[in-house]
Chain A
Amino acid sequence: MSITIDKPPVKTRTDKELSPKYTLTAEQLDAFGEEMDAIRQRIVADLGEADASYIRKVVKYQRGFEVAGRVMFYVPPLWPAAVAALSVSKILDNMEIGHNVMHGQYDWMGDPGLNSRMFEWDTMAPSENWKYGHNYMHHTYTNIVGKDRDVGYGILRMDEEQEWRPYYLGNPLYAFLLMTFFEWGVALHDLEVEEVVAGRRTWAENRQIAARIWRKVRKQVAKDYLVYPLLTGPFFVSTLAGNAVANLIRNVWTFNIIFCGHFPAGVATFTVEETEDESRGGWYYRQLLGSANITGSKLMHVMSGNLSHQIEHHLFPDIPARRYPEIAVEVREICERYGLQYNAGPLHQQLFSVAKKIFRLSLPTRSPRPAPEATAAETPLAA
């Protein structure tokens, strides 16, 4: 199976009536799209040795942290350091390397070890399944409620447009569980269980996907919970516990970074009707308004796989992520010129905003009357 990599639609002109969610005229939207295309072309033409040596350096660090972590489990007093090194390794592997490589950001290098068709990452979800759900479904239909399964992942209520059911009273609990078992959640996400339950998908369609999950999970479990613990002999239990904690730390970190990407307050969602027959400009507009950035240090950006620049990532998903900070300067300037929102804030602020939303949406949205009242209802619930 080959995967369609997320690209803006081919259609360049906006030729339909836009919903009031679009603050630009059709002409402005097309011009905005052209400015984005120009950035893409310029960066793609400039890719080269610096990008290649950057990603190779990150790979080197990741492998180094991994080996160091595995070895330090032989020395019990170093247990915390071992867990820390292994956590860093897994985070780098999943984010700056895995996520970005599987987007095809480094396919131009022609290196099979960094190729989106061949790369496999250190987590439960098999790359083949994940690429379909993420690169195709999520990046193409970003924030279209009912189409983008990453809006609530089929378990959470993350948008008012999702109709409230008593089930959602558990929203905060489900979010907590998803955070704790995030790698399992990501792996199972591709089975689209909620679609099967709704009768829109059959188990037969899942056979191949489930078989891939089973194969991958077996290897991951054997490695972290059997082979490496056995190798450390008398320290079996402490190694096993260390590996589990490293996986947990990675789960919590990646969950939080990812949730800050699309769920902070102010991030727009769209309906299927609004995005029908979308032009390039419209696609870019939706990616911009449907994503949020995290501001912070260079280390934070690397450890988030530069997904702290979620906006730039959604505008240019297949451009090497190390370029996002330089692109962000331009995107911000363009947004200012067009009077468009550019959602960015420090980690704690975005996290708080997401948490507030998770709690607020566990309860039914108050009557669909004018906005001020709904806003007024927010505060006591969040507290």
Chain B
Amino acid sequence: MSIVADATTRVLRSRFAAALATPHGVDRYLELVNPMWAANEVRARIVDITREVDVPGHPPVATITLQPTSTWRGHRAGQHVQLGVEVDGARRTTRVFTVSSPDSKAGDRFTITMRANPDGVVSRYLVERATVGTMVHLSQARGEFVLPDHVPDHVVFISGGSGITPVMSMLRSLQRRTHRGRVTFLHYAQSPDHQIFAAELEEIRRSGYGIDVHLLHPELGDPALSPAYLERLVPGYRDVPTWACGPAPLINAVHGAYDGSDALRVEYFKPPAVGNGNAEGDISFTRSGATAANSGATLLEQAEAAGLNPTFGCRMGICFSCTATKLEGTVRNVLTGETSSLPDEDIRICVSSPEGDCAVEL
């Protein structure tokens, strides 16, 4: 079976097949026969939807199991995928989700876990409306927030809210790899009712095997993240390889506690809010003819505020859907702080904020 499948894939990806299917590409034909057939693109069928958290009055959390096409190359724990859904059968909207299941190989099933963000078109659709059988569009797995091949003897995971997904994937992978070292797992949630993966974490906590699980609810009196608290849990924590993922306040606290240590790796699940320090000058959107005073926000937000509807995807600098040409002016990458003043430069407007006058082709 797999030899036949490999040979088929090789033929479908060959230059010969491409020459036959030009200019549309092989996938544009295959998808019409069976949406699970693909030569290059990645798609998936939803095969299971499980509610993880369902607190009345709060957005529910669900884990979605996906059966990808054979083109899925697998993922390393901690990586994310872009996932696009056609809401109401028409508008495809794409967002980024972290894989919550352990490392996967090519073609393997995997899961994503998300909270139905009240403003989130895709997460709400997936959690509240999608049904088993629904097809979704995927990218390959991406991201540098991953475990190394040789896992150190002691690792620390710190997460907050739905930032638990990448470190959960890592923890599950370590268990599968029968990691023999020590793992310190800290997670901050609003309350025990809001705890994602509660049963599984409880099971891990009770079974021991060198995994210290600390589920913390500061609103109910548990200690907030601080150098003193970390030192008490993990003496010399600044030198222990640590992966942290969560909302900006938590990540800021972690950064403060680790004080520039190389042992720390972080992932935001939203780009940091942009300060208004350099908000001067005017933005001109050359295609539409609109202009606006620079508010200091990202160009995407400023374009939307000016009534434009630029194309966007992840809104966090990953997918390049929002790429537009900056004709002149200086922009700062809000993720890295780098500035660039090149004319006629392709920029991702979702993570670029202008400094001074700026003209962009929107």
Contact = CB atoms under 8 A, between A and B. Distances in A.
B89 A49 contact: yes
Determine the main DSSP class of B at the interface with A: mixed
28 contacts: A2-B324, A4-B361, A7-B288, A9-B289, A48-B90, A49-B88, A52-B86, A52-B89, A52-B90, A59-B28, A63-B28, A67-B29, A108-B91, A109-B90, A109-B91, A110-B84, A110-B91, A110-B92, A110-B93, A111-B92, A113-B24, A122-B23, A216-B23, A219-B22, A220-B22, A223-B20, A227-B16, A228-B20
B66 to A, nearest CB: 19
A63 B20 contact: no
Contacts of B24: 113, 120, 122
A48 B90 CA distance: 6
A51 B90 contact: yes
A222 interface: yes
A44 to B, nearest CB: 10
Interface in A108-124: 108-111, 113, 120-122
B94 A121 contact: no
Given A2-B325, A10-B288, A67-B29, A107 B90 contact: no
Contact of B29 (A52, A63, A227): A63
Interface in B68-103: 84, 86, 88-94
Contacts of A219: 19, 22-23
Contact of A48 (B20, B29, B88, B290): B88
Q: Among B32, B90, B311, which residue has the most Cβ atoms of chain A within 10 A?
A: B90
Interface in B252-291: 287-290
Most interface-central of B22, B287, B324 (chain A CB within 10 A)? B22
Nearest to A222: B19
Interface string A209-245: 0000000100110110001100100000000000000
Contacts of A207: none
Contacts of A60: 32
Chain A contact residues (Cβ within 8 angstroms of B): what range? 20 to 34
Interface in A96-139: 107-111, 113, 120-122
Nearest to B92: A110
Chain B contact-residue range equals: 20 to 34
B31 to A, nearest CB: 8
A53 interface: yes
A99 to B, nearest CB: 14
Interface string B294-331: 00000000000000000100000000000011000000
A349 to B, nearest CB: 35
Interface string B22-38: 11100011001000000
B14 to A, nearest CB: 12
Contacts of B32: 59-60, 63
Given A2-B325, A63-B28, A107-B311, A227 B88 contact: no
A42 B28 CA distance: 32
A110 B94 contact: yes
A332 to B, nearest CB: 29
A63 B21 CA distance: 10
A151 B89 CA distance: 40
Given A48-B90, A227-B20, 6 more contacts: A52-B91, A109-B90, A110-B84, A110-B311, A120-B24, A223-B22
